[in-house]
Amino acid sequence: MIKRIIGSSVLLTIGGVCLLSFTKKEDLDLSSYSTAGLDLYYVAPNFDEIEDDNTFVSLKLGKSYVGFKEALAFKESRGDYGVVNQFGYLGKYQFGKGTLALLGVKGFKKSDFLDNPELQEKAFYANLSRNKWILRRDIKWFSSKKINGVEVTESGILAAAHLSGPGAVKKYLRSGGVEGFADAFGTTIRYYMKRFGGYDTSFVVADRKAKVVF
């Protein structure tokens, strides 16, 4: 009995294959499978971007400059002026000593910087100002365009420059998103451009020689 059932199944399978092989192409209606008009672009986020999705949003601050810097600070350090991460980055905005030296903040004790919120805020603005000058042409050329599925905005560019440095952002934009960057946690330029896009950073004045005065 079992042999008979198996034999019938095999015959039905063979018969089905033969029937399909002799079906004319014009008899098959594949119109319902058309991809015309669909957005087929998709970039899979990395692990860090999936896990860390607690975006700081303030209805009061909105898309203002203050809203921008507080959202970025929340991503960097949860807004903590006194934090030092495992790679030695300092404060609310997680500055490296090399970047601080470029801004004129050098020869200081780590604790002096961490205990001085005003100095950290000045360093953040000076860094934005310097990066805005370096990337001024890229801001003009690429704003409102889409790269890797993300609309490019001035605030997104400045946030990405804070993450990776202006040189890496310039390469990313001018390569059409081919030359990417990820920090030690796997966070990418694309992610920062998306997460911090659309804020009003017109308050920041581009300055090639931006320094911290303290």
Any residues with CB less than 8 A from the CB of 147 and at least 6 apart, and which? 172, 173, 176, 177, 190, 193
**Is the pLDDT assigned to residue 131 strictly greater than 60?**
yes
Per-residue pLDDT of 34-86, as tens digits, reads 444 444 333 444 444 544 445 555 667 899 999 999 999 999 999 999 999 99
Average pLDDT over residues 8-21: 49
The residue whose two tokens read 């975006």 is 55
Q: What is the pLDDT of residue 33?
A: 44
Average pLDDT over residues 181-194: 92
CA atoms within 13 A on the CB side of 177: 14
Distance CA 130, CA 3 (A): 81
**Is the pLDDT assigned to residue 15 strictly greater than 70?**
no
Per-residue pLDDT of 115-129, as tens digits, reads 999 999 999 999 999
